[in-house]
Amino acid sequence: MIRKLFDFHGGVNLRQHKKETTQHPVQTAALPKRLILPLHQHIGHPAEPVVAVGDKVFKSQLIARPVSDISAAVHASSSGKVVDICEHDIPHPSGLKAPCIIIETDGFDRSRRESVRTHNLNDLSPAQIRNIIHQAGIVGLGGAGFPATIKLNPGDKKVETLIINGAECEPYITCDEMLIREQAVEIIEGVLIMRQALQASRCVIAIENRKFKTLDIMNKMVARSGYDFIEVVAVPTVYPAGGEKQLIQVITGQEVPSQGLPIDIGVVCQNIATAYAACRAVEHGEPLISRYVTIAGSVVKPRNLEVRIGTPISDLIEQCGGNRQTLSKLIIGGPMMGFALHNDDVPVVKTTNCILVNSVIADVPLPSRSVSAMPCIRCGACADACPMNLLPQQLYWYAKAKDFDKVQEYDLFDCIECGCCDYVCPSHIPLVQYYRFAKTEIWNQEREKQFADYSRQRHEFHNYRLEREKQEREARHKQKRAEVTGQKDGDSKQAAIQAALERVRQKREQSAVKPKNTDNLTTEQQQLIAEVEARRAKKTTIKNKH
């Protein structure tokens, strides 16, 4: 079937530089002496260590558990001993350190085989699939590193199309292309797993139309599988056709709404390497402990390696014949959307797809230019190139003027930082740098505002607590005073009055008691008593007169 494809606005044609790294089969990188495993390799909450310094660990053993649904487990990528849990440099544009578990490998690469559990897809519910993928620490391997299960849980929304993104549109990066060539069967298994988790109606595997060999392999494998709901689509080789929103538009003709998600239009997009990782987890019981990585640029042997997560990048550069002494620049990711590293003693993490090496001897041709910026001439070329239909020139003006309200009005947060505007700008203005600066400033202001709100709430609660304690203290004092002075209030006072009245009544009754032995008297005895009473009465009268 020939599928109708759609255009997206803008984009640029770039020299691909992909031949060098697709000439050789993928090799397994050498086992490093030391693995550096950051607790935070994904978007969301960092994982929590479940091992301590001195512990021996097996390959694939859980060493840090996810603390929430938006978190990802970390596993030992080889056997050895935990020698430290400390702050270490990580691959991040900030150059900051982050908590990592350091494992000294023992060279045996031993797994605890009995812990490996495989599953039959037909027996699994969508929730069970998500749970396996969550426990395996799988995150989106296309770049952002969002825990994979989040996108595999559509809630009550219907998923029409699952798009598997195999369109690597950035120059130099070829790890997904090599993965398709070498692991096509397992990728299809992964697609079936994801389809079942999402209950999606159809699946589209998107590959760039210039990757003839790769397209041919995948087409044959899909045809052999016999699944008519899986379709391979050759998408145009225009940068950034591999961007999630652009790819969805090319395949479905629909635009993801501004600030919205693909699921809002019934689409879920997953990277091809994520599908492969899902297959390894569900069908082979393997957590995510390695991935394909492209090592390109100024190295003697540019190629793709299967690399254990946590391997120092310096080891990989040496394995590919790079010279650490002559390094001038290291880029993680592609030349358009990647970021420069501050040093090479950082590990490969789950989202590392490419290491682009630049040396002082052989400069790698990069699309970005190092020419000095000149004033904007309002040519509009940036707006023509923007795949998100933004106005890059306006964004630039307002970011430069630090007018952060205005820059948001022009949809700064829809910018995917693809760099197309930079690339075409005749004045060589580093536009994306301005957008990143503005985004960081806005996030900082937001954080400061949240902190101020939090501080105010804490202050108000502090005052409320002091007042409450004061009232409780006063109530306790009052009660104590009442107990000491015998003062009682309310019911206890009333009860005391009643008791006193009762005592008076009883006394009265006692005083009204008749004298004993006065019943059944004889007439003589009654007369005698009457005479005695008469005498007493007479005596009392005389006494009163005196």
Nearest distance in Å: CB 143, ligand SF4: 15
Nearest distance in Å: CB 168, ligand SF4: 18
Distance CA 441, CA 424 (A): 26
Residue with tokens 């994306």: 432
Interaction between residue 316 and ligand SF4 (CB under 6 A):
no
Contact 506, 513 (CB under 8 A): no
* Residue number with CB closer to ligand SF4 (88 or 245): 245
Interaction between residue 41 and ligand SF4 (CB under 6 A):
no
Out of 377, 496, 501, 532, point to the residue binding ligand SF4 (CB under 6 A): 377
* Residue number with CB closer to ligand SF4 (281 or 416): 416
Binding span for ligand SF4 by CB under 6 A among 365-373, 401-409, 418-426, 462-470? 418-426
Out of 318, 345, 411, 417, point to the residue binding ligand SF4 (CB under 6 A): 417
Interaction between residue 233 and ligand SF4 (CB under 6 A):
no
Per-residue x/- marks for ligand SF4, 140-169, CB under 6 A? ------------------------------
Distance CA 206, CA 3 (A): 12
Nearest distance in Å: CB 308, ligand SF4: 33
Coil, strand or helix at 234:
strand
Q: How far is CA 180 from CA 15, 216, 392, in A?
A: 22, 10, 35
Nearest distance in Å: CB 333, ligand SF4: 14
Contact 275, 191 (CB under 8 A): yes
Backbone angles phi, psi at 139, to 5 degrees: -125, 165
Distance CA 501, CA 221 (A): 104
* Residue number with CB closer to ligand SF4 (443 or 451): 443
Please report, as a single letter, which amino acid is at residue 143: G
Coil, strand or helix at 212:
helix
Out of 66, 166, 262, 419, point to the residue binding ligand SF4 (CB under 6 A): 419
Interaction between residue 337 and ligand SF4 (CB under 6 A):
no
Out of 102, 235, 357, 386, point to the residue binding ligand SF4 (CB under 6 A): 386
CA atoms within 13 A on the CB side of 107: 0
* Residue number with CB closer to ligand SF4 (409 or 472): 409
Distance CA 425, CA 381 (A): 6
Identify the DSSP state of 233: E
Nearest distance in Å: CB 172, ligand SF4: 19
* Residue number with CB closer to ligand SF4 (74 or 388): 388
Binding span for ligand SF4 by CB under 6 A among 91-99, 165-173, 350-358, 409-417? 409-417
Out of 316, 420, 434, 439, point to the residue binding ligand SF4 (CB under 6 A): 420
Out of 350, 416, 434, 438, point to the residue binding ligand SF4 (CB under 6 A): 416
Out of 396, 398, 410, 434, point to the residue binding ligand SF4 (CB under 6 A): 396
Nearest distance in Å: CB 171, ligand SF4: 16
* Residue number with CB closer to ligand SF4 (340 or 360): 340
Contact 363, 370 (CB under 8 A): no
Nearest distance in Å: CB 269, ligand SF4: 17
The helix (run of H) or strand (run of E) holding residue 423 is helix 420-424
Strands 327-332 and 339-340, bridge-based pairing = antiparallel
Structure tokens at 420: 């197309």
Q: What is the 3-state secondary structure (H, E, C) of 491-541?
A: HHHHHHHHHHHHHHHHHHHHHCCCCCCCCCCCHHHHHHHHHHHHHHHHHHH
Per-residue x/- marks for ligand SF4, 425-454, CB under 6 A? xxx-x-xx--x-------------------
Interaction between residue 376 and ligand SF4 (CB under 6 A):
yes
Contact 423, 343 (CB under 8 A): no
Interaction between residue 381 and ligand SF4 (CB under 6 A):
yes
Out of 102, 418, 434, 439, point to the residue binding ligand SF4 (CB under 6 A): 418
* Residue number with CB closer to ligand SF4 (10 or 46): 10
Structure tokens at 78: 């080889």
Which residue blocks in 285-414 are alpha helix, DSSP H? 313-319, 381-385, 392-400, 404-409
- Which residues fall within 8 angstroms of residue 370, CB to CB, at 6 or more apart? none
Which one, of 108, 38, 28, 27, lies nearest residue 75 by Cα? Answer: 38
Distance CA 470, CA 473 (A): 5
Structure tokens at 182: 């070498």
Which residue blocks in 167-308 are alpha helix, DSSP H? 175-198, 212-225, 244-252, 272-284
Nearest distance in Å: CB 422, ligand SF4: 7
Nearest distance in Å: CB 373, ligand SF4: 9
Contact 166, 99 (CB under 8 A): no
In the beta sheet, which residues pair with residue 308?
A: 290
Nearest distance in Å: CB 388, ligand SF4: 4
Binding span for ligand SF4 by CB under 6 A among 60-68, 229-237, 278-286, 383-391? 383-391
In the beta sheet, which residues pair with residue 59?
A: 111
Interaction between residue 382 and ligand SF4 (CB under 6 A):
yes
Contact 197, 152 (CB under 8 A): yes
Contact 272, 166 (CB under 8 A): yes
Nearest distance in Å: CB 95, ligand SF4: 22
* Residue number with CB closer to ligand SF4 (295 or 388): 388
* Residue number with CB closer to ligand SF4 (323 or 394): 394
Contacts to ligand SF4 by CB under 6 A: 376-382, 385-386, 388, 390, 392-393, 395-396, 415-421, 425-427, 429, 431-432, 435
